[in-house]
Structure 1
Amino acid sequence: MLRASSHHLQPILFTAPAPLFALLPTLTKRTNVSFALLQNPSLFHPKSTLTQPIYNHSYCNLGSKFKRVLHMVGQPCTPKATASFSTGNSSEGGREILVQHLLVKEDDMKLLLELQKRVAEGEDLSDLAVEYSICPSKEEGGMLGWVRKGQMVPEFEEAAFSAPLNKVVGCKTKFGWHLLQVLSEREESILEYIQPIELHEKIQHPSFLEEAQLIDVREPEEVAQASLPGFTVLPLRQFSSWGPEIMTKFDPQKDTYVLCHHGMRSLQVAKWLQTQGFKKVFNVTGGIHEYAVKADPSIPTY
């Protein structure tokens, strides 16, 4: 339970009566997290991704559905938009929690007390968020998705990581008053960056192609110009067709490698795979272009 302080509500700990799985969003609903709550959005743009060669912008005219996903997984956006989860190169373990919340203005205590009462009487936090929250995540029932320590502002993080599972607790941040609920927890997902030369060495071993999952998110016309063996092509522009089926086509427990032209689109998909529970995801640094230049000159460049 949270300590009472100037930044926390007086005891407002409620058991949410709704079944856990009834609160879990579908794939397309797990796509918002409040950008404002992120403690340091720059953490989600590793320097390695900012020094990539100029890529073909014509292949980055993404569909609207995946653009919403990119808001969650770190695509540059304005503070009024939504953004998401860390990439992290560390192999250290940790805990991630699935959080939903609602946000009201600091001076709107009357509404806050009313919402506390309604939660205590059995109403779902997600339903109240849709109607009353001032956070952009209200469109998804207040769903912030999977978060880990170091991502959110300190007051929100303390409340969330101290909250018992499936309880509703409150806290105050500079954005206002929050009612939040932790729906689930899991071992932290890992996203690493693999250099083309290292990937090339791995591909030479037949066992690697059998054990690893390889995903190429380039468009068909790109793949026709240059490709690597063993990769399943999932064009980013067709995300709406393959995204909802990702858990049936791939095993989240296996190491998963993601490739594109220069490593930018693949990074976004890799981050999204993290939010879907994939335990270890590798983004190919520099994409197939750098692979052709540094690892295998027989691969055409374009």
Structure 2
Amino acid sequence: MLRRAPHFPPMASTALRLSLVPALSFSSSPPPPPPSQSRCISTPPPHHLLPPPLGGRKLRPVRPASPHPRLRLAGISASFSSQSSSGNGRELLVQHLLIKENDLNLLLELQQRISAGEDLSDLAVEHSICPSKEQGGMLGWVRMGQMVPEFEEAAFSAPMNKVVKCKTKFGWHLLQVLSEREGSVLQDIQPDELHAKMQDPNFLEEAQLVDVREPEEVAKASLPGFQVLPLRQFGSWGPEITTKLDTEKDTYVMCHHGMRSLQVAKWLQAQGFKRVFNLSGGIHEYAVKADPSIPTY
């Protein structure tokens, strides 16, 4: 029996992941911290892995130009640290549905319908009690350490494209691994380290440098080689980011103090960029610690 291709919605559920697409703040000053949210699968994130304070407009992942999950589909994956993804570096593209623990008759019915050829994403929209039902049960790319142990064990041992079941404290899950890839990296880079790199002409040719400050800020202070993509103009450049920039190249992101750039760096990682670096402290710290010829403001 022929089965149609899995449904790949444009974004992952904001209720299921340890770290998802962050809200991108349009202010350089830190607003109040975000309220706590209930999470269906993920364990509470360590404090140092939380995104910067939210409070601004939320930006959704861009629908990829290619539907192939290995090329462009991505959810937030690697943690923000100086190391690459934990575990063995694998990331899985996962979709699932969730039903109540005592709803065994429905569980059996859904398993039978899947065996008969129905798609898990369609059944998730119809029956799942998880907020990810709005995206056909799509969780995006996940890695070791993001999910509760039972779900994680089932996902990372499941055969590709085979629907398997597991039970967690939230209920029964039917999950499907759609694709696999090598984990991405999101790192902090110190001003003196970036300054040293920028002395090498080859660095400016090989790397992608992105300044997410507003034009009036760039007029006050700037660094050579940085492409200006103002955060307030996200609507114009965001949907075309994978055509403007190469997801395979090292990408460095800068703002005034390093908060907006960290949020954009996380978002770029969500779009499938393999190696993303955030300038710690932004151009201000760069001017203070690495190059005093750069004006501060």
TM-score, shorter chain, exceeding 0.5: yes
Q: 1:211 aligns with which of 206, 209, 215?
A: 206
Match of 1:89 in 2: 82
Deviates more, 1:127-136 or 1:160-169: 127-136
Q: 2:108 aligns with which of 95, 107, 113?
A: 113
The answer on whether the counterparts of 1:16 and 1:166 sit within 8 Å (CA) in structure 2 is no
1:219-273 Cα offsets, whole Å, 9 max, x none, are: 2232222221111112223323322211111111111111112112211221222
AA paired with 2:45? P
2:236 and 2:56 mapped to 1: Cα distance? Answer: 13
Q: 1:101 to 1:189 in 2, by over 3 A?
A: same
AA paired with 2:42? L
Match of 1:42 in 2: 46
> Could you tell me how far 1:185 is from its partner in structure 2?
0.4
Match of 2:255 in 1: 260
Q: 1:275 aligns with which of 244, 266, 270?
A: 270
AA paired with 2:4? A
The answer on whether the counterparts of 2:13 and 2:131 sit within 8 Å (CA) in structure 1 is no
The answer on whether the counterparts of 1:62 and 1:236 sit within 8 Å (CA) in structure 2 is no
Task: For residue 224 of structure 1, give the secondary structure of its aligned residue in structure 2.
Answer: helix
Q: 1:30 to 1:136 in 2, by over 3 A?
A: closer
1:33 and 1:215 mapped to 2: Cα distance? Answer: 30
Whether 1:288 aligns to 2:270 is: no
Q: 1:136 aligns with which of 113, 131, 139?
A: 131
Query: Which 4+ runs in 1 deviate beyond 3 A?
Result: 30-33, 60-64
2:13 and 2:290 mapped to 1: Cα distance? Answer: 35
1:159 and 1:187 mapped to 2: Cα distance? Answer: 19
Percent identity reads 69
Match of 1:63 in 2: 57
2:294 and 2:2 mapped to 1: Cα distance? Answer: 56
Match of 1:25 in 2: 9
Whether 1:166 aligns to 2:161 is: yes
Task: For residue 248 of structure 2, give the secondary structure of its aligned residue in structure 1.
Answer: coil
Whether 1:126 aligns to 2:115 is: no
Task: For residue 269 of structure 1, give the secondary structure of its aligned residue in structure 2.
Answer: helix
> Could you tell me how far 1:31 is from its partner in structure 2?
6.3
Q: 1:184 to 1:206 in 2, by over 3 A?
A: same
Structure 1 unaligned residues grouped into runs of 5+: 1-14, 51-56, 70-82
Structure 2 unaligned residues grouped into runs of 5+: 18-38, 62-74
Match of 2:22 in 1: none
Match of 1:54 in 2: none
Task: For residue 131 of structure 1, give the secondary structure of its aligned residue in structure 2.
Answer: helix
1:32 and 1:201 mapped to 2: Cα distance? Answer: 38
2:120 and 2:280 mapped to 1: Cα distance? Answer: 41
2:2 and 2:220 mapped to 1: Cα distance? Answer: 54
2:245 and 2:108 mapped to 1: Cα distance? Answer: 45
Q: 1:236 to 1:118 in 2, by over 3 A?
A: farther
1:279 and 1:192 mapped to 2: Cα distance? Answer: 11
Q: 1:31 to 1:176 in 2, by over 3 A?
A: closer
2:255 and 2:278 mapped to 1: Cα distance? Answer: 9
Match of 1:229 in 2: 224
AA paired with 1:290? E
Q: 1:243 aligns with which of 214, 238, 243?
A: 238
Q: 1:236 to 1:31 in 2, by over 3 A?
A: farther
> Could you tell me how far 1:16 is from its partner in structure 2?
9.3
Q: 1:179 to 1:88 in 2, by over 3 A?
A: farther
TM-score, with structure 1 as normaliser: 0.78
Q: 1:102 to 1:137 in 2, by over 3 A?
A: same
AA paired with 2:3? P
The answer on whether the counterparts of 2:12 and 2:132 sit within 8 Å (CA) in structure 1 is no
Q: Matched residue pairs, number?
A: 259
The answer on whether the counterparts of 2:212 and 2:253 sit within 8 Å (CA) in structure 1 is yes
> Could you tell me how far 1:146 is from its partner in structure 2?
0.7
Task: For residue 132 of structure 2, give the secondary structure of its aligned residue in structure 1.
Answer: helix
